[in-house]
Amino acid sequence: MYQGLLHLHSLLRWIILILLVVNIVRHFTASNNPFTATDKKLGLFLMIAAHTTLLLGLYQWITGPSGFQNIKNLGMGVVMKDSAARFWAVEHMTGMIIGIILITLGKTVAKKNFSDALKHKRSAILFTLALVIILLTIPWPFRAGIGRPWFPGM
């Protein structure tokens, strides 16, 4: 079961990245257009995918060998001195939670009583910040010691 959830978690990252890029492009190019129901739906789909991935990731962090179990077995001091262990126990989770908070804030902007141009601008900025943080904390295959395959099961 753990392996299947890991594959689903890895697959959902691509959905999040695609939805982030679509949302960012849409908000930057539509700055003078009305904030439509499509804008709200795209933000909602992004937030649902991000929160689902967060729940899967938290489950993996708690039950898997690289997160809480590693801290419990080795101690926080040892984990923090090992860059790979630190990435899985602290950096990946922290970066992703910050990214998901920014995604949630970007979606929440649609509910505020701002002008449409300001909604587009704030959403674009928050989604762009989320994208940067998420890209920095994904375990890309080229990252030594922490890399994961491009697609699940590879």
pLDDT tens, residue by residue, 100-153: 999 999 999 988 898 999 999 999 999 999 999 999 999 999 998 898 888 877
Torsion, Cα of 125, 111, 30, 27 (10° steps)? 30
The Cα 146–Cα 107 span in angstroms is 31
Looking at the chain, the whole-number percentage of residues with pLDDT higher than 70 is: 99
Please name the residue that has the structure tokens 């030594």.
Answer: 144
Closest CA to 119 of 50, 42, 49, 45: 42
10 Å Cβ neighbour count for 99?
A: 25
pLDDT category, 8, cuts 50, 70, 90? Answer: very high
Residue 116, both tokens: 């449409």
At residue 31, the pLDDT reads: 80
Q: What whole-number distance in Å separates Cα of residue 20 and Cα of residue 96? A: 14
**Over the stretch 22-77, which tens digit does the pLDDT of each residue have?**
999 999 998 889 999 999 999 999 999 999 999 999 999 999 998 999 999 999 99
Residue 77 burial (C-beta neighbours within 10 Å; 0-12, 13-18, 19+): exposed
Matching residue, tokens 């695609």: 18
Distance (Å) of CA 27 to CA 11, 31, 35, 58 = 25, 6, 9, 30
Q: What is the predicted pLDDT for the residue at 130?
A: 98
- The pLDDT of residue 97: 97
What's the whole-model pTM score? 0.92
Distances (CA, A) of 62 to 33, 38, 117: 44, 36, 42
Structure tokens at 34: 């009305």
pLDDT, position 1? 84
The conformation of residue 33, written as its DSSP 8-state character, comes to: S
